[in-house]
Structure 1
């Protein structure tokens, strides 16, 4: 099985290469000429170029595609909407169009930011999306484009942490180790998700899809570590496990930072379908966080 991973040099992409190399031949695709460990080949491609997308599909002849390439900088998307739509919508359109003559499953990664955050409880797949930012709207449009392709499945994760790229967790650790103040939101709740766990869940999904004779119940799946927390709760847990003073964490509200893009106050996700499809969902977020901190040798 040949698995094409777009955005293979990104935070999730790197975890996917590592995990999916156990299941088949992995071909990475990115805009950078960097072959990741585990890739059998790497394609340099700008998927905003339709012709380049067709050429990449023709040359790699994938059996499965996992599309992670996106512009995920929420504030940059707000300031540069054309760039956001190019990266988050047109790349999906070009990739799916290039695959139109092939019976190739596409797993397209989306985001929890397709929701407006006004719901008091976790969002599941039946909830209607109402994005509040350019980033969220572009990702929702990307979902809709992807789902026109007959063999596409959309995965919505939440706040990612893991090896390979600086992320919210790494920034907390860095500041805590230096004894610097850590500002974290009290009024934003998400489902923190370890990229290793997400990659494993996607790997299990690919295995299930390869064995099924009929399509699954839903084309959209929420895939996060279980549960949710505020950003300040997450930061406090990291600082506690590092053995650093709790006073390093400074609670703030989102409005205090006046960032260009609005964020949903609650984007905690849950799934009504995932357990029945891949056997079980992902472990609780705090267990995953502890495992990550140990994997980085930040704690024992």
Structure 2
């Protein structure tokens, strides 16, 4: 087969998925970027290119506060989720010898229920007269219900950490499964104890999974608006809630698109920083 025929065959193979990606990903993103340079007055959209939306987004304190709060909450959720997911992934990879598929199946059980239903369940658990407060009062640990676990950033962190835990466990588990066990045996033969062996061999080799889990959790949580709306209260609202308000009730889609673009750029920079930090610590991240 000639080189030209091979090239045409390759284009034929990648053509449909490339076209699909352009239609479903690139086109909507290009539309959002375009909208961010327009303005809207009730139902009338002025297509004259302008930077007014960006000036307003950077000049109004409320947008900066919401974006900063969103980044902080997402980072806390990401760190919490990864720290809690790592021991589970380690246990599945190194300690479970049989029926690993069953364990992975159990991890995916939360996906059987609606995400909205899981958020409502946490609202019931963390409520003033909810399961947690009732249990703590029943055993005498507290005298009156706790008020700092619902309708604030704490509730958002707890709910999001639970919702995204499987997404963190699975990539870390896959990375650990690829670790050559002979390297651990060699480290043990050279006199490394369990702790030293973990930090010198296991953790660096598991960093690709850790970095993947970090990015997988970080990016969607910044754009989550359902959880902050249901359990966050006024102190737990995030930038996505403001984007929803601008596109919906405020009828200002261009400003909402601008806030979305700014959020995307900031999150992308953070993700790149995390990736570079992971490469520096654990070597090449695949």
Q: Report the TM-score, using the length of structure 1 for normalisation.
A: 0.24
Greater relative contact order structure (CA < 8 Å, 6+ sep) = 2
Give the structure-2-normalised TM-score.
Answer: 0.25
Select the structure of larger CA radius of gyration.
Answer: 2
- Could you say which structure has the higher strand fraction? 1
